[in-house]
């Protein structure tokens, strides 16, 4: 049986490699984390919880990004934050 974190890492890597479109990544990640019942370490949980907020803030609406006071992020910023999460998992 795979460790719970491995499913997240696989999804994040697929997104980084362009194998999963941003909307699919966001929808899948949010569903996975909302339903999480596995054994995550505190570090894993904290990193994923931060990414949950990032995924929830993703939008393709430029007007929201511009007027959102830094709350909304675009695909490029989401990709940076996914990369940050992957780095955190490796530390």
User: The CATH number of the domain where 34 resides is what?
Assistant: 1.20.120.650
**pTM attached to this predicted model:** 0.90
Packing angle, helices 22-34 and 4-16, rounded to 10: 170
What's the pLDDT tens digit per position in 50-68?
999 999 999 999 999 999 7
Query: Rounded to an integer, what distance in angstroms lies between the CA atom of residue 73 and that of residue 65?
Result: 6
Domain count, the chain: 1
Q: Are 20 and 29 in contact (CB under 8 A)?
A: no
Q: Is residue 25 within a helix (H) or strand (E), and if so which, with residue range?
A: helix 22-34
Kindly tell me if the per-residue pLDDT of 19 is higher than 80: yes
Give the count of beta carbons closer than 10 Å to the beta carbon of residue 57: 19
Domain containing residue 35: 4-90
């Amino acid at each position: 049986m795979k460790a719970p974190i491995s499913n997240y890492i696989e999804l994040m890597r697929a997104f980084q490699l362009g194998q999963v479109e941003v909307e699919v990544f966001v929808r899948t990640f949010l569903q996975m984390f909302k339903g999480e019942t596995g054994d995550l370490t505190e570090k894993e949980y904290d990193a994923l919880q931060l990414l949950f907020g990032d995924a929830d803030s993703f939008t393709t609406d430029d007007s929201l990004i511009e007027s959102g006071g830094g709350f909304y992020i675009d695909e490029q910023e989401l990709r940076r934050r996914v990369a940050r999460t992957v780095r955190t998992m490796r530390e």
